[in-house]
Structure formats: C-alpha cells, structure tokens
Amino acid sequence: MATPQHFTVLSGSTERLDRFLADQLEYSRTQAARLVADKRVTVNGATARASRLLVRGDVVVVTLPESEPPRQLLPADIPLTVVYEDEHLAVIDKPAGLVVHPAPGHWDDTLVNALVARGTTLSGGAEGRPGIVHRLDRDTSGLMLVAKTDLAHRRLGHMLAARKIRRVYAALAWGHLDESPTRIDAPLARHPTDRKRMAVLPDGRAARTDAWCVARFQVADLLRLELHSGRTHQIRVHLAHIGHPVIGDPVYGAGGSRRISGQARLIAEAVERAAPRQALHAALLSFQHPVTETPLEFRSEWPADLCQALVLAAGTSISVAPTEALRYLLFFNRDG
C-alpha cells in the first residue's frame, strides 16, 4: 500500500483543495480532482470536495495509487556541511547544484541520498522526501532544515504555517529598488504553458516577499529578502515581476546584462560572466527548537562561487544605506 503524503497549508488566504494538490504534486487540476473524487484525499482527517477552501494550518493527506513499487533511496557519497544536529533535527548548508529530493532526472544524487549515505535518521515525510521540511532550488545555496523524527517534522511544519520560522536570503539583483524596504505581494501559480516555471497570476496562491537594499552598486543592488510564504521559485519570480531579476538566473533573468545600457553595460557583462548561477543564497535561519523550545539562529556567509560577481558589482565605490546595512554587507562578504 502506498505511503500517505502529508501537506500542511502555509498560505494565509483561502485556496481550493484541487488547486493546492495540483501545486504540491505538480499535477494538473484534473488529475488532482480525480484523486479527491476517488476518496484518496482527506483534510484534517475527513474526506472533502475538490472545491473545499483550505486555510492556513489545514493538514491534507493524499494516498496516491500504486502504479509502480516505490523507489529505494540509495546512498550517495556527496559531501555535506552540517552546521547543527541533534536527535530531532539538522541544519544543512546546501551547496548550489544539489537537488533537494529525488525526482525525475535526479533519483540518486540528491540531498536526501547524501543524508542516507551519512546514516542520518530522517522523518517519514512525503514519499521520496523524508526529512524535508522546506526546499531550496537546485542552484540556490544556503541553510535548510531537516527533520529527523516525525514529531519534529510535524511541529516544524506547523511553525512554518504560523510563520514562526524566519528565513532571510541574500541576492544580487539587476537595477535598483525604488523603495527600501519593498513589499512584493503577488500570487504565484504554475505557468499556464510551462509546468517547470512559475508565474504571477491573479488566481495563484498568495505569496509575499519583503526586500531591503543592503548596498547599491552601479548596475545592481545587494538585497536582503525575507519570506512570508514558501512558494516554488518565489524570490526569483517576485524580483523579476518588479523588474529586478536575480543576476545569473537562467529562467527568470529577463535578458540579464542586456538590460543595462551605456558604459555600465561593460560592468554588467563582467558581473554576469562571473556569476556561475543565480546569485541567491539562504543566509539566515532562525526558529525555536520544536522539542526543547531553545531559540536557535544560524547564518551562512555569501558563498565563495558568487564572491567575484559581488566584487565586480561593487567596484571601487559602494553606496550603503544605514549603518545596519553595512553590517549585513560585511557579514555576507567578510573577506571582501
């Protein structure tokens, strides 16, 4: 029998059950509605209609039909930086290029496979995603939470839903924010013609990102970003939506250095060449331990593979907003 998959609703606004399932499972809405009609879905322990409006904190359980035996999670000898670990959870500083959990094209070379190889006990979680409380894109680096017990996983999921886990990112983005801070409140959904992309759509799921300018350079801003929801590609889509895409983003980069005109174009091209991937990093994770209730905070410096892009963007003069912003800049690039 297939292992039920559990999802906690994190959005602060109502959303139809079939749309929520389609987004979580990367299904079409028709496929999601069929699961509901076949009584394979419960909300808070009870069956529900596809049109059921979900609210934050609802727990959706899905039992998928068994079309094939579940894949065995194979160990993979991939080095990991573990910044904290106890019997309940671990905090991983994920390198860029590492997929978080098994999926088509990456069944045996993911963070989960690396955790299995090091003998880390993992919570049940969704099938193929044991221990995964939240995700980072493959080419986004930085701090991630991993649950080692079902109790910790359940409590961390509720904490995410209640916005009690603080996640702060650093990014290099083209151009300059009009205001700092800037609040980006724009609903996100799967792109209507490309299922691998996300887009701002009126009927999408509620999503909010707050952005601060840490330092303003000639062609780009160094940004501090805080998530208030956890949608797929959220920061990348939101920044592109307001006209300031993440430097090095091959999907939402909107033309990259070609956006810059005049003499500054040469600087922009140099920065772009120096960015081997999207310049986005999960820099801070702060939360109360789900079992011991001890306050925990972890920081990860601006990654080495993006340092040259930051140096080239900064050039010889840096316009920094308040004193606190300088502290953030030094934190992200202490060797610079």
AA letter at 163: R
Q: Of 137, 139, 221, 249, which one is the catalytic site residue?
A: 137
Closest CA to 143 of 167, 173, 110: 167
Closest CA to 102 of 92, 114, 112, 117: 112
Please give the backbone phi and psi of residue 308, each rounded to the nearest 5 degrees, phi first: -65, -40
**What is the rounded distance in angstroms from the CA atom of residue 313 to the CA atom of residue 308?**
8
Q: How far is CA 193 from CA 197, 209, 294, 305, in A?
A: 9, 25, 45, 33
Beta bridge partners of 170: 224, 281
| 137 among known catalytic residues | yes
Beta strand extents in the chain (DSSP E only): 5-8, 15-16, 41-43, 46-47, 53-54, 59-62, 81-85, 89-94, 141-147, 166-174, 182-185, 188-190, 198-200, 208-216, 220-227, 280-288, 295-299, 319-320
Q: Position of tokens 């955790």?
A: 115
CB-facing half-sphere around the CA of 220: CA atoms within 13 A: 31
The token duo for 317 is: 């003069």
AA letter at 130: P
Closest CA to 143 of 61, 227, 60, 199: 227
The token duo for 98 is: 């590492």
CB 8 within 8 A of CB 58: yes
CB 22 within 8 A of CB 31: yes
Neighbours of 178 (CB within 10 A): 10
User: Which amino acids are annotated catalytic?
Assistant: 137
